[in-house]
Amino acid sequence: MVGDAQAGVTPLDRDVAARLRTAGKKVLFAANKCDDDGVRNDAAEFSCLGFGNPYPISCLHRGGVPALLDAAMKLLPPPVPLELTPPRLNLAVIGRPNVGKSSLVNALTGSKRVMTSPIAGTTRDAVDIEFSFQFGEERIPAMLVDTAGLRKTAKVDSVVELFSVMRAKSAIERADLVIFVMEAGDAGATAQDRKIAGLIQKAGKACVIAANKVDLCSGQETKELLNEIRETVPGLGFAPVALISAQEQKGLDRLLELVGEVRRQSEMEISTGLLNRVLGDAFTGNPPPVNGVSPLKLFDAVTAGKKPHRFKLFVNRKDAVVPHYVNYLKNKLRAAFDLTGVPIELEFCPRPKTVESFRRTEPGKGAGRGTKRRNGTWKSKPKSR
C-alpha cells in the first residue's frame, strides 16, 4: 500500500487499509514523498494502519526503493526452477468493440472473470487470465489476454481509449498466437475488421479467426459464412476460421483444436533438405517468369527462424523476384508442410560468392556436402576408400 507522507494518514488511507487487512494478503506500506528527513520522521505515523513500520520512499529522488524491494522479495515464495515451468502460450484476443471478445474469454475459462455488456467499449485495458486446454495427449498452459475493442483511430476520443488501443496493440506484439474475433454474418468483414487483420499480418503473428455470434445467423449455410469471411479478410488467408457462439458455448472445442494445431505448426522444425526439395520441385513444376535477361534461379535455401517461419533463398538475381511468384512459393511451402494458421516469410539473398562465405552466412549448413560448382550446384565429396 502506498501513502502520501506529506499529507499524513487520511480517512481514505484508513478505508484502503481496512480492506487490505481482510484480504488475507501480506502487505508492506510504502510512505511516498519522503523527500527530506522531516517528512521521513513523520512517516512513522502510518504504522497505526497495522502494517508495521512504513518504508519511507521518495519516488521523485528514487530514495528508499531498494529497501522496500528487498523486503518484498523476502515475502515472495521461492522461485520455481525455470525448467519446471512449461512455456505458456500467449493468446491475445483481438477484435473491434462488442464482437464478444470478453464473452469468449469467459466462455473459454469457464468463469465470469471479465465484464461483458452490449455497450461497445466495455473492456478498457488488457487483462491477462491464465488457463489451460487439452490438445490430444497434451495439456497446454496458456495466458488469454482480453483486450479493448479497436475502433477506427479517428473515433478514438479520450486518453483512456488511446491507452486501451496501445495496450491492445502491444498484446498483439507479445502474443504467440492471436485469436481474431469477428462477427459471423452475411456481411463478412467490416472495414475495421480488415484494418485489424492488417495489424495482425504486419506483426507476423500466427492467427485463428473466431467468427462469433453464429447463433444470430440462423438459416445461413456454414459454408457460405466461411466463404464470406475468407473473401473479405485480406492478408489473413492462411488463418483457419472457427464458427462459434461465445454466448451459447458453441464451437469452442473446435476453436481450441485449431489453436493447438496452429501452435504445433508454428513450433515445427523444418529440415533444410526437405525445404530444398519442396522449393526445387516448385521451381521445376512452375518455372519463374522471365523478368529481364535471365530467369530467376534458386541455388539453395535455409531456414532462418520460427514464429513466423522464415526462409532464406539464395538466388542468382534478387531483382528477378516478382510478388505473384513469391505467393506461389509460399503456397507450395504451406501445402507441403501443412502450415495453415502461421505466416511465412521469404527472404531472397544473392548467392554467396564462395563456399566459405556461404558457410559463414549459415554456420553448420552446407558443410560436408562437397564443393560448390561455379553454377551453384553441389559437387559431392569423393568417397573415402
Ligand X SMILES: Nc1nc2c(ncn2[C@@H]2O[C@H](COP(=O)(O)OP(=O)(O)OP(=O)(O)O)[C@@H](O)[C@H]2O)c(=O)[nH]1
Please tell me whether residue 151 binds ligand X under the rule CB under 6 A.
no
Q: Does 246 bind ligand X (CB under 6 A)?
A: yes
Separation between Cα atoms, residue 376 and residue 372, nearest integer Å: 6
Give CA–CA dist 207/197, Å, rounded: 10
Cβ atoms of 258 and 240 closer than 8 Å: yes
Under rule CB under 5 A, residue 123 binds Mg ion: yes
Query: Is residue 308 reached through a cis peptide bond, with omega within 30 degrees of 0 on the bond before it?
Result: yes
Residue 201 in contact with Mg ion, rule: CB under 5 A: no
Q: Are 127 and 168 in contact (CB under 8 A)?
A: no
Could you say whether residue 117 binds ligand X (CB under 6 A)?
yes
Element (H, E) at 315: strand 309-315
Q: What does each C-alpha distance from 178 to 143, 190, 237, 239 come to in angstroms?
A: 11, 18, 14, 10
Q: Which three cell numbers stand for residue 52?
A: 508495521
Of 5, 93, 100, 102, the one binding Mg ion (CB under 5 A) is 102
Size of the site for Mg ion (CB under 5 A): 4
Residue closer to Mg ion (CB basis): 8 or 121: 121
**99 interface partner picked from Mg ion, ligand X, none, CB below 5 to 8 A per type:** ligand X
Cβ distance to ligand X smaller for residue 34 or 126? 126
> Which of ligand X, Mg ion, none interacts with 192 (beta carbon under 5 to 8 A by kind)?
none
Element (H, E) at 227: helix 222-232
Query: Of 190-198, 220-228, 243-251, 342-350, which segment contacts ligand X by CB under 6 A?
Result: 243-251
Q: Are 346 and 311 in contact (CB under 8 A)?
A: yes
Task: Mark residues 325-364: x for contact with ligand X by CB under 6 A, - for none.
Answer: ----------------------------------------
Residue 191 is classified by DSSP as H
Does residue 100 bind ligand X (CB under 6 A)?
yes
Contact in structure between 46 and 54 (CB atoms under 8 Å)? yes
216 touching ligand X, by CB under 6 A: yes
Please tell me whether residue 247 binds ligand X under the rule CB under 6 A: yes
Q: Using CB under 5 A, which of the segments 40-48, 119-127, 203-211, 323-331 binds Mg ion?
A: 119-127
Q: Which of 8, 63, 121, 204 binds ligand X (CB under 6 A)?
A: 121
- Residue 173 near which of ligand X, Mg ion, none (CB within 5-8 Å, type-dependent): none
Report how far residue 256's alpha carbon sits from residue 251's, in angstroms, rounded to the nearest whole number.
9
Pairwise CA distance, residues 187 & 228, whole Å: 7
- Positions that interact with Mg ion (CB under 5 A): 101-102, 122-123
Q: What is the contact surface with ligand X in residues (CB under 6 A)?
A: 95, 97-103, 116-118, 120-123, 148-149, 212-213, 215-216, 245-247
